[in-house]
Every structure is written in structure tokens, then in C-alpha cells.
Amino acid sequence: DQQVKQNSPSLSVQEGRISILNCDYTNSMFDYFLWYKKYPAEGPTFLISISSIKDKNEDGRFTVFLNKSAKHLSLHIVPSQPGDSAVYFCAAKLANAGKSTFGDGTTLTVKP
């Protein structure tokens, strides 16, 4: 049973437009959600996170929205830049748990 799902394996957007990456989860007990970005031949790097008590968190061009009733979160990147082209992983954590559960990832391509 995959508890965190990213249903779009890939997304292509034009430079300057908005990128929206989606993530769904099944465990309503998750307390914390994180987005990581991964370039080829590198480890994932942390991008932005959101606590389950909030519905929005913003950091520069990156905004994460959380809809607890729908068990859905999304990452908005605006404006998108070619350097944003990478694989984006959504992850979820339970409070006081030692592990994060990752989605399968979405490959974002931003075209110049």
C-alpha cells in the first residue's frame, strides 16, 4: 500500500509560467510534509515543508498548499526557470517517527 503518491511521472512547462506538482496521501495521521528536489547524479535536496496545522507555506518562488480534507498537497513554482528542471519528491512524516515516506517523484522539465 503506497501511502504517498505522485500520479504524474512528468510535467513540462514553459519558462516563466507556473509549475504545479501534485501529491496525494492516504494516512491522515501524517503531521508533516516535505518536498525534495533531485538533480541527476546528486542526492535529494530539501526544498520546502508544511506542517499539518497549516494550509500554505511560501518561500520565494515556491509555495506548498495542503488540503487535509482531500489528503492532497501541491507545490507551486512561479515563475518557473530552466534550472528548476529536476525530479521532485513529496515526502510525509509522522510526528516522532524516524522515517519519511516518499512518493515516486515527478520529473519537471522547464523549457526556455
Partner 1 sequence: DTEVTQTPKHLVMGMTNKKSLKCEQHMGHRAMYWYKQKAKKPPELMFVYSYEKLSINESVPSRFSPECPNSSLLNLHLHALQPEDSALYLCASGLRAGSINEQFFGPGTRLTVL
Binding of partner 1 at residue 112 (CB under 8 A)?
no
**Among 45, 56, 72, 82, which residue interacts with partner 1 (rule: CB under 8 A)?**
45
Q: Do 106 and 10 meet the contact criterion of CB atoms below 8 Å apart?
A: yes
Nearest to 6 by CA among 28, 24, 33, 26: 24
Binding of partner 1 at residue 1 (CB under 8 A)?
no
Query: Which is it for the CA torsion 68, 70, 76, 82, positive or negative?
Result: positive
For the CB of residue 93, give the shortest distance to partner 1 in the complex, in Å. 6
For the CB of residue 71, give the shortest distance to partner 1 in the complex, in Å. 18
**Among 13, 21, 23, 34, which residue interacts with partner 1 (rule: CB under 8 A)?**
34
Using DSSP's 3-state secondary structure scheme, residue 14 falls into strand
Q: Do 20 and 8 meet the contact criterion of CB atoms below 8 Å apart?
A: no
- Which residues in this chain contact partner 1 in the complex, by CB under 8 A? 9, 31-32, 34, 36, 41-46, 49, 51, 89, 93, 95-100, 102-105
